[in-house]
Structure 1
Amino acid sequence: MKRILVIAAIALMSRLADANHVKIIYPRDNQTIASIDSEFVFGNTTPGAVLRINGAKVPVHRGGGFLAFIPVNRGPNSIKAVSIVNGDTAIAEININVGQIADFSASPFIRNSMNPFGRTVLTGSDELEFGVKIKRSGQGYCRFKDTQNWLPLNIIAREQSEENAFGAMAIFSDSISPADCIGYLPMKDIKDSSRIYLLYLDKSDSCFGDPHGLDPTDSSDFFVVKSTPTESRVVTVIERPRVVRLAPAKGYLLVNQPPGVRFAYAGETPDYYRVQLAENYYGYVKKTDSKLSFPNIAKPQGEVSTIIANDFPDRIEISMAFGDKLPFRISEQGDILTVDIYGLRSNVDWIRQNGTQKYIRQIWWTQVQKDIFRLHLRWHSEQFWGYNGRYDNGKFTLVVKKKPKIGAKNRPLDGLRIMLDAGHSKDSGAVGQTGFAEKDANLLIARQLKSILESCGAEVLMTRTGNEDVPLVNRPDTILKENVDLSVSIHNNALPDGINPFKNNGTSAYYYFPQSRPLAEKIHQRMLSATKLPDHGLYYGNLALTRIDNCPAVLIECAFMMIPEQEDKLKSSDFRRTIAIAIADGIGDFVK
């Protein structure tokens, strides 16, 4: 009897294993996505199944993965996948919401959409710029309490099709979703502090278009404060190299500012300090990346009189002593490297080169304005290998790397120190139709690449060797600490909501500094030739792993996890080896 029960149990398990199934991996159930008119859906089912999503037939890949790009409507949507194999039907159904759900019953303004959202400090000569979402069927206005002049909120126009770096995205143009607006208010209208007063006029209002003399409809929960110009304070970078932004949460103005760099405080928002770099030149530093001094601290400034360039086996160092840790910006164009140092004045009488003439053809300086000093360096070739700025022993030092010694023609990687970064972990990154995680694909490729590079004579280091948790913020620190010759970060791609994955996929390469572009180009060319995948582009990419300045550093998106054929290829050791060989060959092409 026991034997019969065991046989029956095995038979039942076999039938369950063979049973049809269907699973939607993305979108997630109850997810809210942007106001778009189409969305991709992917997941897995039984290979050989006949699959329909919302009634439309969808091909099933031999591995069981599927991908569809379906129309969606504004508001709630149901996505139903029905899979049939030999009369066995499996169903998966999810619900999503397209577009922001806005409740205007209490106010025509979405208060928590205000940006900045919290106490903001600016000077009397500044202008407050803020964003807010409003009901679309009317016009919004804003003012401070100390003035009766209502200023219009400017609606940010949206086209029916928006193009971003990854492809075109069709969006709804309707009257239901909130309108994104920007307001501008001069700080001279504040006596000391004020809330932002808001007024809304619907198109049906008799006074529409004439806000004069009307009372506010709403106001901000926070105050905008006019700072005291006589109170001198300083913002200092802490812990690790940081960035300075053009505006809160906007693009980068300065990168890789070392700990201890000081800025003149010029105001704040809830999350950022506003800092003054020079006259009429401002930026924003995250509060979590810096600390604010007590009042009446000396303003960051300095004066330089002597510049000295020294030769070392692997680098050139150009040093200046000026008594403070001032913000700076390094840029390159062709064979010229320039360093702008903010708050610095020139009293330069001497520029000394100690054996650097072979590498530095010329050094000179200019005073761009009274508080911006610019150092110019003409290099011996148009290819820089790496550079960064640092403060130590009371000096600012610009470090320019020499090109490392390259091996024989048939072994150009011999002796190079290369860092490989397998992207993600512990987060999974992108996920394919069958649940294959990007972090695992990245690591498998990196391991094969490591073996190939080592066979070519390179010394290879890795930011992670297994599934250990390595936070993104720590990875650039590791690369800088190891002072490697090259850095390659390995990833596999996915798309933002609303972009057609059948038209936008393939392999791509990313760089940030001009010195890294040739490496990205060489690897990208090899990847296209070897993998036969579509060309998804060569990108300037503002990414943590491309903002490495002391060596050429690139990020490679090898393939797309969400494309069934490409996910299936990534599961193959042979295809991963093809990728690894292509990256290694691209590195070899670059260093020759």
Structure 2
Amino acid sequence: MLNLRLLSLLALVTACAPASRVTAPTPTGPMPGRPAPPTNTALPAIPLATGPVAIDVVYPTANSEIASRDSNFIFGSIGNGNAALYINGMAAPVWPNGSFMAYLPVPSRDLSRYDLVAVLGRDSTTLSHPVRLEEMLPPVTPAVTPPVTPAATADRYGILIGPSTVSNDTDRVITGQPSPDPNIVRYFLFPGTVVRTAGLAGGETVVELEPAVRFRVANNQIQAQPAGFTPPLLNIGRDTIVANSESVDLIVPATGPPAYYVSVAGSRLTVTLFGVTAAPRREGSRSVADPLLKSVSVAHSPARTEYILDLARPVFAYQPLFENGNFVLKVRRPPTIDPAMPLRGLTIGLDPGHPGIQGQAPGATGPTALKERAAVIPVALRARELLIERGATVFMTKTEAEEAVDLNLRPTMARRANVHALVSIHYNALPDGVNPFLNNGTSTYSFHIHSGRLSELTQAAMIRNMHLRDLGARRANFAVVRPSWFPAILTEGAFIMMPDQEHALKTAEYQDAYARSIVEGLEQFFREVGGSQ
């Protein structure tokens, strides 16, 4: 009887005791059901992060406007590679280091936010990330002032004044852009050039060199002249050829800086001077006793003069100048190349991209908040080591990540250093509305035709060594590739916004691959330059 009472008492005590809290064990593998991120086995392996879950959205930043009306990307990190992530109810891929990238429909205008839920075991972490949506306004076509015609009113003129950032350097030019511009044509004109204006287009002035030659310049780079202004006659004298150790120069006396255009086709340079009067006249072709320049041809018309320079080899580089009352086209002699050591004795410029000064692009950012301006520095420093090993002298526009250098001064700095080639080193990102899973890869850019071969060879080396999709060697109007005194290219080695690529570019292995690609491209390019000698 006592035993029965004791058992009953024990049962009552046990029933009244509070239940013990059961803690779910931390998972040892990825949460089930989440989408697997795309993998590239040629890239360095990504280590597993097992830290606490913490959601950090790097892009878009909170309360920023999304410039896409359909779909857009969102990326950042959740701190643990085993966790699952849901964004507005849709599963997002998570990489082993906890980085994530998703391409999703833009939130509704009523929602205007991303709701993120990270799940690890039985625990979940949430974040509400507000954004602003692009205003749904109809496209507006900017009003264009009708071109001024002589029949309607008197001609109007302006004087090009150029940007103030390089006011004391001969690289100071005004950039003119035709519209439409399918072939990426640019006119680079001297300050002080008098031009006829033909109207306004928003914040730009339409310049007319001839009825069929029009382009636009920024309003702050041209000084409009009052009605009745009479432009001074622009006379040019007899041209001469002056040879020196570094270049062979076409020198044309002129009473003012002429509007001009230079085109390159293989071993031929064509220079057109607009709005000039030639006196005395000299036309036809004449031979030149120079190992680089074979002949010069001159042709005059009422409003222009054209000079054709035929070289003994492909154009290496050139530089137009206006100084001491002369238009000068300096045709640069290619350096003498040792085939066994093609970079020996050369000066190579390296430009780690970003940041510029205030108002210029700060550079891209990756899912773990790695800044492009920091990521390119190790690549540039490694490339410098490799170039020095090969006998080159290296000029760098900067060596510290946070060192701000004006974007427009970088090519000027390189020309002052008299480099034989310039490589601007970058990592890429995409604008809103473009699917990053389908459009990432490696690309190289140049502007001038004589830089195109260096771009192609460097692109080929990056594809061999960096193992990403080939986006090609392309032509683009970037400030750092516009100089003509040396071949200049801009490399976009990888996409810092993609989690696997961002991790790769943190590793010494991948930094070395990028640097070696740049050096291999330069070596092969100058080996070919030497071969044409």
Question: One fold, TM greater than 0.5?
Answer: yes
Q: Is residue 33 of structure 1 aligned with residue 66 of structure 2?
A: yes
Does the 8 Å contact 1:331/1:339 carry over to 2? yes
Q: Is residue 21 of structure 1 aligned with residue 54 of structure 2?
A: yes
* Cα distance in 2, alignment partners of residues 344 and 436 from structure 1: 54
Question: SS of the residue aligned with 2:398?
Answer: coil
Percent of residue pairs bearing the same amino acid type: 27
- Normalising by structure 2, report the TM-score: 0.80
Deviation at 1:253, TM superposition (A): 4.8
Deviation at 1:279, TM superposition (A): 4.1
Q: Is residue 471 of structure 1 aligned with residue 406 of structure 2?
A: yes
Q: Is residue 71 of structure 1 aligned with residue 5 of structure 2?
A: no
Does the 8 Å contact 1:308/1:352 carry over to 2? no
Moved over 6 A (4+): 248-252, 350-355
Cross-structure match for 2:92: 58
Deviations 1:249-289 (A, max 9, x none): 99965433232222134444563333231245333221222
Change (3 A) 1:61 1:244: same
Deviations 1:314-337 (A, max 9, x none): 111011113121110101112211
* Cα distance in 1, alignment partners of residues 85 and 404 from structure 2: 38
* Cα distance in 2, alignment partners of residues 343 and 428 from structure 1: 41
Cross-structure match for 1:487: 422
Question: SS of the residue aligned with 1:329?
Answer: strand
* Cα distance in 1, alignment partners of residues 320 and 379 from structure 2: 33
- Describe how 1:187-206 pairs up with structure 2 within 5 A: none
Deviation at 1:30, TM superposition (A): 3.1
Cross-structure match for 2:458: 523
2:324 is aligned with what amino acid? N
2:93 is aligned with what amino acid? P
Cross-structure match for 1:314: 246
1:59 is aligned with what amino acid? P
1:21 is aligned with what amino acid? A
Match of 2:312 among 354, 365, 380: 380
Q: Is residue 430 of structure 1 aligned with residue 364 of structure 2?
A: yes
Does the 8 Å contact 1:34/1:100 carry over to 2? no
Between 1:40-49 and 1:23-32, the stretch displaced more is: 23-32
Q: Is residue 234 of structure 1 aligned with residue 158 of structure 2?
A: yes
Deviations 1:159-188 (A, max 9, x none): xxxxxxxxxxxxxxxxxxxxxxxxxxxxx7
More RCO (CA 8 Å, sep 6+): 2
Cross-structure match for 1:457: 391
Does the 8 Å contact 1:33/1:96 carry over to 2? yes
Q: Is residue 328 of structure 1 aligned with residue 260 of structure 2?
A: yes
1:61 is aligned with what amino acid? W
Cross-structure match for 1:282: 214
**Bigger radius of gyration among the two:** 2
* Cα distance in 2, alignment partners of residues 40 and 397 from structure 1: 50
* Cα distance in 1, alignment partners of residues 458 and 232 from structure 2: 43
* Cα distance in 2, alignment partners of residues 479 and 75 from structure 1: 48
Question: SS of the residue aligned with 1:490?
Answer: strand
1:291 is aligned with what amino acid? Q
* Cα distance in 2, alignment partners of residues 290 and 483 from structure 1: 30
Match of 1:80 among 93, 112, 115: 115
Match of 2:204 among 272, 295, 300: 272
Between 1:385-394 and 1:513-522, the stretch displaced more is: 385-394
1:481 is aligned with what amino acid? R
* Cα distance in 2, alignment partners of residues 374 and 249 from structure 1: 23
* Cα distance in 1, alignment partners of residues 394 and 216 from structure 2: 37
More strand by share: 1
Match of 2:502 among 567, 577, 580: 567
Change (3 A) 1:356 1:475: farther
Match of 2:282 among 328, 346, 349: 349
* Cα distance in 2, alignment partners of residues 547 and 450 from structure 1: 23
Between 1:564-573 and 1:299-308, the stretch displaced more is: 299-308
1:229 is aligned with what amino acid? A
2:525 is aligned with what amino acid? F
Question: SS of the residue aligned with 1:115?
Answer: coil
- Aligned pairs, number: 462
Between 1:345-354 and 1:329-338, the stretch displaced more is: 345-354
Which structure 1 residue ranges, 5 or more long, are not aligned?
1-16, 103-108, 127-187, 189-227
Which structure 2 residue ranges, 5 or more long, are not aligned?
1-49, 528-533
* Cα distance in 2, alignment partners of residues 351 and 314 from structure 1: 27
Does the 8 Å contact 1:420/1:446 carry over to 2? yes
Deviations 1:175-205 (A, max 9, x none): xxxxxxxxxxxxx7xxxxxxxxxxxxxxxxx
